[in-house]
Amino acid sequence: MERASSFVVRITSSSTSSLFFREDRSLLPRPTHQRSALRVRRALLGNSLYRRLFFWALASIFLLGLALRFTEPRLLRERVHDLTEFHDNAKSREDGEIPTKVVTVLTAGTETPEVPAWSPDMLNWLQFRHLDGFFVGLKALVPHSEYRPEHPRAAGEESPYPFTISYTGLPTPTPFVPQPDYASAEYRSQYHEVKTCYLDKDRKTRVPDTYAYHGVVQGQSEPVIGSHSLLGLRDDVCFDRFGRYGPYGLGYSFDEGGVEVGIDTEKEGSEAVWSRTGKINYENMDWGDAQTRCFESNKKRFVDASASNEPTPAKSGTSSGRPGHKHKIPRTAVVIRSYTGYRWTHHALLNFRALISELALRSGAEYGVHFLLHVRDDNEAIWADPATGQRILNENMPREFHSLCTLWSEDQMRLVYPGHFGSSFSNPSGADIHGVYRSAHLPLQVFAMNHPEYEHFWNWELDMRFLGNYYELFDRLGAWGRQQSRVGAWERSAKYYIPRYHGSWDNFTQVVHDETVASGRPAVFGPVTFPGRVPLRSELGGQSFIPASCARRTERARCGVGEEADLITLNPLFDAEDSGWVFASDVTGYPTDQPPPPRRSAIITASRLSRRLLAAMHEETWRMHHAMFSEMFPAAVALHHGLKAVYAPHPVSLDREWDLHAVDAAFNGGRDGSAGGAGSPFDLRNEHNHKGTSWYYNSEFAGLLWRRWLGYAQYDGRGPGGGRDGAGTLRGGREDEQRADGTGRMCLRSMLVHPIKWELPAEVEGYYKG
Ligand SMILES: *[C@@H]1O[C@H](CO)[C@@H](O)[C@H](O)[C@H]1NC(C)=O
């Protein structure tokens, strides 16, 4: 951890001048940091008279708009959990009695989707009504065995609406611990002891638990794409905002060491999440320091990269079987891509506190978290002058994360990867080959080469959230990747898995196999050949990335089972050729008088890359001067050299009641039933299908759902023409969740959401103005 690196200025806590600690220059001043949309406006509004005038004008326009809105007839009728029968318990509460039993009948939505006449066939999701179950609250929690989803349902299966719920007060959340039971005899017989890590130097404050509710909210939709149970994610628990973030500072004041967001939302029963630890004071937290201490006390557990060149053993351990032999485990880095100018918010702060706590500290340093901070101004002397580095940190990163930061710039990439890169088949963005837009992987390659202590690297972004516990997500994705056979892996990974449509994973595997056979194309296995292919040095030396066991015919089907995946993506690894994806031909350095090399791509760069994949990409870059667009290069290099790559079908929700045939037609509409080639959902003309998903760069549903879950009222994105962003009726938020006849705050099963461009309603202005 303390290694000095030759290229990258790493600012550690010890090199940080104490001057900066004494100064109260927190990046997130009290009260809550708010975004200012335009620089010009800020200057103009410096004068308080102008400011008052401006806000009066703004308020008048708003009120006028509001008046107009209410004079119009309502476009759509009320839909969400319309309560037809309710025994008011407000009175008994006033009398000081605890409500004993409340019976509520929830009815289904009555929305009639409006399909505008002009709508071409391609917007066929307009015909499906919006789902309501996502927004039902905790009072409708039922055991998993009683749960019936609003969607998807098999043909003939009855709707869960209307349903009656009975409850005695609110349910109570319990600690949710997805890490192995480190104290168990079983764990200790196989692995070295795990030393508990603490937030503070004095080892007094333990890293808190996250809390979950046992059960699922009745009627809530099931994810349509991907699956909890397939990946080993719990599908019988749900998370509310307090169980998720309360332990890290949500829901309490600055004076108590919290971040003062969430206090103004509905919060009945939220105190439970602080019952064991109290409200933790994060005021002087130094996460890098905590992470380093955690690693130091657990060093013995891990493969020592500097001590041996032997390949690291699989975590699951095909052990030597010697009694008393303890496995050492490889470590994984989570590298969060930050950049100068990013406006930190308290919600973002909470999210990364959670990520570091759950992944690095509660795992006894199995994971290490780092911020890779892109310094966008190439003129900054980030390698020459520590004071410059410190100033950039002060201006761009919350102080508590400073000691986790590595700074880099595009000029640095030009220095590390010099020379001529040849011509590109196409360059739609017109951007520079060393630039972050086309080559976001370059600094990750450099980071990996400078951090031999890690075997795998998660590339992560600031506008992603996991509604759930990060350890559960990353651990289960890694374990699932390890279990996958290499046989048919590229073909399965090229297709969205829709469990209610395809059946079990075995069914899906069969479907893909049949489609591959029918296509007449050979399945990919091992390195691919193509004109202009240049072998890696290791390949020239006779080495292969294919495990030796794969050569034995009898074991062929199990080839790769137990082998760590070199690449795990969170969207399909689709064939970019003919796909209509804008950057499909942004391929540089290969002979342009030949067809472009075969390649795969996965939209959204969030993925796990192995050290050996990053090393191959590094060599492709510096030695062969090869490059491809950011979302394509890792997958294409893995394809070319026979590395193991998988798309992990994590749970993704849809906002509308899609017919499952339509889901398959839209999302697997490419060549041979895949997501690639002609008809791909990543074709610019088809990408609109993703707007109602919970995980896609242009999703509008992800942010809406996330903010409702955080407790803020949102326009429900409904209305003529699809509505979506900022359209429809304002729903949710405190009044709605507190209503005596309401169901309380939302509780959702774990899911990834992206993109989250803003969270607090006060930030919205800046977002809409870009
Ligand atoms: C899945 O496979 C089983 C066993 O082969 C079969 O009975 C079932 O019909 C298949 N389901 C689907 C949806 O294809």
The atom of ligand 1 lying closest to the CA of 504 is 1
Instruction: Please measure the distance between the N-terminal and C-terminal CA atoms of the chain and give it in whole angstroms.
Output: 38
User: Residue whose CA is closest, atom 2 of ligand 1?
Assistant: 507
Residue type at position 196: T
Alpha carbon of 694 to ligand 1 centroid (Å): 28
Contact indicator for 691, 724 with CB cutoff of 8 Å: yes
Contact indicator for 576, 586 with CB cutoff of 8 Å: no
What is the Å distance from ligand 1's center to 513 Cα? 14
Q: Closest ligand 1 atom to the C-alpha of 511?
A: 14
Q: Report the separation in Å between the CA atom of 499 and the middle of ligand 1, taken as the mean of its atom positions.
A: 12
419 close to ligand 1 (CB < 6 Angstrom): no
Out of 504, 511, 512, 660, give the residue to mutate to test ligand 1, the one with the largest number of ligand atoms within 8 Å of its CB: 504
Number of CB atoms found within 10 A of residue 509's CB: 17
Residue 698 tokens read as 């242009």
Distance 485 CA to ligand 1 centre (A): 20
d(CA 61, CA 53) in angstroms, rounded, equals 12
196, 67, 125: which is closest to 681 by C-alpha? 125
CB 700 within 8 A of CB 723: no
Position in ligand 1 atom list of the atom nearest CA 503:
13
For ligand 1, atom 13, name the residue with the nearest CA. 503
| Cβ contacts of 220 within 8 Å, gap of 6 or more | 133, 134, 136, 147, 149, 150, 748, 749
Give distance in angstroms: CA of 663 to centre of ligand 1. 19
Protein residue closest via CA to atom 10 of ligand 1: 507
Decide whether any atom of ligand 1 lies within 6 Å of the 503 Cβ. Answer: yes
Phi and psi, residue 627, nearest 5°: -150, 155
Task: Output the CA 217–ligand 1 centroid distance in Å.
Answer: 29
| Atom 11 (ligand 1) nearest CA | 503
Rounded to whole angstroms, the Cα distance separating 261 from 253 reads 8
Locate the ligand 1 atom nearest the alpha carbon of residue 501 and give its number: 13
pLDDT number for residue 728: 87
Instruction: Tell me what pLDDT residue 107 has.
Output: 59
What ligand 1 atom has the least distance to the C-alpha of 507?
Answer: 1
Distance 544 CA to ligand 1 centre (A): 37
Cα–Cα distance for residue pair 69/616, rounded to 1 Å: 58
Residue nearest to atom 3 of ligand 1 (CA): 507
**Residue 84 backbone phi and psi in degrees, to 5:** -100, -15
Listed in order, strand segments (DSSP E) in 52-100 are 83-86
Q: Which residues of 583-599 are buried (b: 16+ CB within 10 A; e: fewer)?
A: bbbbbbbbeeeeebbbb
- Cα(507) to centroid(ligand 1), Å: 6
From 227, 505, 507, mutation site for ligand 1 pocket: most ligand atoms within 8 A of C-beta: 507
Q: How far is the CA of 587 from the centre of ligand 1 (A)?
A: 41
Nearest CA to ligand 1 atom 12: 503
For residue 482, report the distance from its CA to the centre of ligand 1, in Å: 25
C-alpha 229 – ligand 1 centre gap (Å): 18
Reduced to 3 states (helix: H, G, I; strand: E, B; else coil), residue 731 is strand
Beta carbon of 514 within 6 Å of any ligand 1 atom = no
Q: Which of 335, 317, 334 is nearest to 326 (CA)?
A: 317
Retrieve residue 19's tokens.
Answer: 């001057």
pLDDT mean by block of 10 residues, the chain; 770 residues: 37 34 44 37 42 54 48 28 27 38 56 53 79 95 95 88 80 97 97 98 97 96 98 98 98 96 97 97 97 98 74 45 82 98 96 98 98 98 95 97 98 97 96 97 98 98 98 98 98 98 98 98 96 95 93 87 98 98 97 96 97 98 98 98 98 96 96 97 95 95 96 87 74 94 94 96 57
- The alpha carbon of residue 647 and the mean position of all alpha carbons in its chain are separated, in whole angstroms, by 14
Q: Which of 752, 658, 756 is nearest to 714 (CA)?
A: 756
The DSSP-derived string for 134-200 is GG-BGGGEE-GGG--BSSS--TTPPP--SEEEEESS----EEE--S--TTSHHHHHHBPPPPP-BSS
Long-range Cβ contact pairs of 699-702 (< 8 A, separation 24 or more): 699/753, 699/754, 699/755, 700/724, 700/725, 701/653, 701/654, 701/655, 702/753, 702/754, 702/755, 702/756
Q: Whose CA is nearest to atom 1 of ligand 1?
A: 507
E-strand stretches of 509-626: 567-569, 574-575, 587-588, 600-601, 607-610
The Å distance, Cα 504 to ligand 1 centre, comes to 8
Closest to 711 measured CA to CA, from 754, 746, 762: 746
Specify the residue with its C-alpha closest to ligand 1, atom 5.
507
Pairwise CA distance, residues 526 & 520, whole Å: 18
Beta-bridge mates of residue 329: 302
Which has the closest alpha carbon to 80: 143, 140, 169?
140
User: How many angstroms is it from 503 CA to the middle of ligand 1?
Assistant: 7
Q: What is the CA radius of gyration of the chain?
A: 26
Residue 360, pLDDT score:
98
Q: Rounded CA gap, 313 and 319, in Å?
A: 8
- Counting from 1 in the atom list of ligand 1, the atom nearest the Cα of 502 is 13
Task: Give the Cα separation of 526 and 445 in Å (integer).
Answer: 23
Residue of the CA atom closest to atom 7 of ligand 1: 507
Output the residue whose Cα is nearest ligand 1's atom 4: 507
Cα(379) to centroid(ligand 1), Å: 61
In whole angstroms, what is the distance from residue 91 CA to residue 99 CA? 9
The dihedral over CA atoms of 131, 135, 138, 140, expressed in degrees to the nearest 10, equals -30
Q: Which amino acid is at 494?
A: A
Distance, in Å, from the CA atom of 169 to the CA atom of 150, rounded to the nearest integer, reads: 25
Rounded (5°) CA angle 463-369-612: 100
CA dihedral over 714, 691, 601, 316, signed as positive or negative: positive
- The structure tokens listed for 737 are 């969740």
